[in-house]
Every structure is written in structure tokens, then in C-alpha cells.
Amino acid sequence: MKQLMLQKFADKTAKIGIVGLGYVGLPLMLRYADIGYTVLGFDIDADKVAQLNQGASYIEHIPAHKIAAACQAGFEATTDFSRISEVEAIILCVPTPLNKYREPDISFVIQTTDAVKPYLRAGQVLSLESTTYPGTTEEELLPRMQETGLVVGQDVFLVYSPEREDPGNPDFETRTIPKVIGGHTPACLEVGMALYQPAIDQVVPVSSTKAAELTKLLENIHRAVNIGLVNEMKIVADKMGIDIHEVIHAAATKPFGFVPYYPGPGLGGHCIPIDPFYLTWKAREYGVNTRFIELAGEVNSAMPQYVVNKTVLALNERRLAIKDSHILVLGIAYKKNVDDMRESPSVVIMELLRDLGAKVAYSDPHVPVFPKMREHHFDLSSEPLTAENLARFDGVILATDHDKFDYALIRQHAQLIVDTRGKLHGAHVVKA
């Protein structure tokens, strides 16, 4: 069976199934479609499926013409999981959020695996790409595959290969980002390598699914801890009357031993605010306290409140109360130049301001209407950035520094600017 699968991936007769057609699944689908594989996409959202089958895109940085080209090449999206039996590769790209106790919620992974399980057959490889704690593949996916009576490593194959997508980054794409992969058995790894090598320039094998799972966590914990450090440094620098951005730019001139990270209003995106807590949770099982990770999480989670406090104090200097003040938040996507709202600290800032009685509005060229979110609710549309509109707000908070913003216009017409990104200067600009 292994040899047959290796041959199918090599000659591109294998059909690729991608479950979860979002920020991770869609780019992967496009890559496989582009190199000549037939791709079948699965999603529980019927509206998304309908849009894709019509050649439309619901993600800003993925143009519709690429979806349309994939459809012409044979791509099809469906909500019918019984069609799992048609594909040789099943790649799971589903969310792994945290619950309200900041514990891993792998319900989407488990539910998806349960939905796939009845239709598994010999000659398939199952790959999990969702970020999770070390042991998930072995503890949750493996038993469910074994319940089918199929032998993992002989009849079917199981791998873990974490996604590394960076939405909106023009310097990297799915093909050029190296792909880490671990297999449950050596045969699993071999089949998994055959799956990904045609699509990805560099595939990096590791010894187990656990090692691959921990690799993903280490990457994002590294970023979270360093961002937590500069966020804490920002607070210290502010107390000392020092511009932390000036300091970082100066430190970054050192050609060795220093990598610049930049402070902000908090952490956003699916990975960096969430992934570290997967390890802290799992580490408790082994009696280990992950103090660095937890401290960084505390610092980063406190940043939205820090921004709000700076806003309150700045308004106070102008003899204004936060209650009933009109506040405009610039940028509600989690990072610049994308429409991705996942875990955006801007939204937390908006909620904190609303709780204090402020009249909150936002402007974001990438998010024309505030989207439906599981935990956040605002009935708002993006405000146009005009001189008149800027002037009517008591305060403006620069939360996400999109390139499309006219910073000269903002600086000239905003009465008060709370700058969380180090973009603006002036007597009416408060660094936060």
C-alpha cells in the first residue's frame, strides 16, 4: 500500500482533500491545484463552499481569480464528508482556540476527525496541520483511526505537519515556507513526505508527531516571549520618557546577537496569543511550570488595558472624561495590511472603551463592516478617514498601522492621537 501511495503522489494521480477552507486551507488548496493535483475541499460553512464553487474569495489577500483558476483546474468544495472516501490525502486545517479558562479547545479537531472516520479506507494519509499540544496526534487521532480496523503505518498513514502561513506577507508563500513533518511510524513519515514534497520547496522531517507539534509551539512561544519582553520594556521606557521604538531601531544595528521585536497594543492572530498556552497546559501533566511563557502571556494580555489607561489619562489632560468621549480606533485587523480579525487586540481595546462609556468607532480599509465573531459584538462599519471626520473625535487610537492609512492627514486633523505602533510624532501624540 505504501508503494502505491508513493507512486500516486509522484505521478499526481492522488486526490488531495483539505478540511477547513480558511487562512490555512485555502492557500494550500491553491498550491496543490496550481501544480496539477485534483483537490476536494471540505468545510461546514455552506456559504463559504458556495462562494468558492462560484470562483469567489472571502479572504482579502487571496484574489478571486486564483480561486476561479483552481475551479477550472478541477477544484471543488463540499459540505459532504462522505466524499472523504474519494481522496488519498486528508489534510485537517481546522481551528484550535482556547476556552475561557485559557485551556486548549481541540473540539474542532476531534469533531472533524470523527466526521472523517466513517469514510476512511485503505490507501489514505491523514495529516493534521492545526496547532496543538504535543501528543494530540497520538492521543486523539491515532485511536480514532485504529477504531476503523485499519492498521496505521500499513493500510493508512498518520502525520502531523504544522501550518506556517503568514497572511499578507509578500516575502513568503506556501511553496517557499519550509514544512516540518513528523510521522507516527517511519512508513507514515515516508508517505507524508511524498504528500508535501511536490508542493513545498523544503520539507523538514522530525522523529515523531510529538516533535513536530512541539516545533510549532517553540516557534510561536519564541515570538510571544520576545514580544512580551519589548512590551514590558515599552512600559519602562515610557516612565523614563524614552521612545522605545528609537531604542529598538538603534539596537537592531548590531549585526549579531539581537533580533528586533516591536511592541504593540497586544498580541493578535491565531497563533502567537494562543499557542504558548497549549504548552503550559500540557506541561502541568508533567509537573512543570512554564514561568517564562506564562509571564509573557500576562504582559501581552495586559497591553490593551495599558492602551486604554493611556487614553483615559490623555483625555484627562484635556479636561475630558472617557465616558461619552468619541474614540476612533484605527485598524482592527490583528496586523497591518490584512483583513484577519483573529484574536485582534484592537477589539479588546474597543470593548474596554465601551465598558467605560466611550462612544467607539473604527476605521479599517481592510474590514469595511465589523464581522461576526464568536466572542465580540459590534454593529459598526468602517469610518471614512477625512479631515472633518477625524476632527470630530475626541481621541484617535492607532492600533494597527496599515499602509493604506494617510498618516499625514491623521497627524494634521486628529485632536489627540494615542499611538501604539510608533508611527507618529507631535505634541498631541501620546505613545502607548
Q: Residue ranges per domain, the chain?
A: 2-207, 217-298, 303-431
Go through 286-306 and write b for each residue having 16 or more CB atoms within 10 A of its CB, e for each that does not. Answer: eeeebeebeebbebbbbbbeb
- Give catalytic residue positions: 271
Please provide residue 237's backbone torsions phi and psi, each rounded to the nearest 5 degrees.
-60, -40
* 357 Cβ neighbours under 8 A, 6+ residues apart: 322, 323, 324
| Predicted pLDDT at 88 | 98
| Predicted pLDDT at 99 | 76
Which CATH number does the domain 217-298 belong to among 1.10.10.10, 1.10.1040.10, 3.30.590.10, 1.10.645.10?
1.10.1040.10
| Predicted pLDDT at 222 | 93
| Predicted pLDDT at 101 | 72
Sign of CA dihedral 206, 210, 215, 216: positive
Residues 205, 142: Cα–Cα separation, whole Å: 19
Can you name the CATH fold of 2-207? Rossmann fold (3.40.50)
| Predicted pLDDT at 167 | 80
| Predicted pLDDT at 13 | 97
Q: How far is CA 121 from the centre of its chain?
A: 32
Same fold, 217-298 and 303-431: no
| Predicted pLDDT at 415 | 96
| Predicted pLDDT at 376 | 83
Which CATH number does the domain 303-431 belong to among 3.20.20.70, 3.30.2350.10, 3.40.50.720, 3.40.50.2300?
3.40.50.720
Q: What is the mean pLDDT of each run of 10 residues along the chain (432 residues)?
A: 95 98 95 97 96 95 95 97 98 88 87 97 97 94 97 98 87 94 98 98 98 95 94 96 96 96 88 80 91 91 96 97 98 94 94 97 97 86 96 97 97 97 94 94
| Predicted pLDDT at 375 | 77
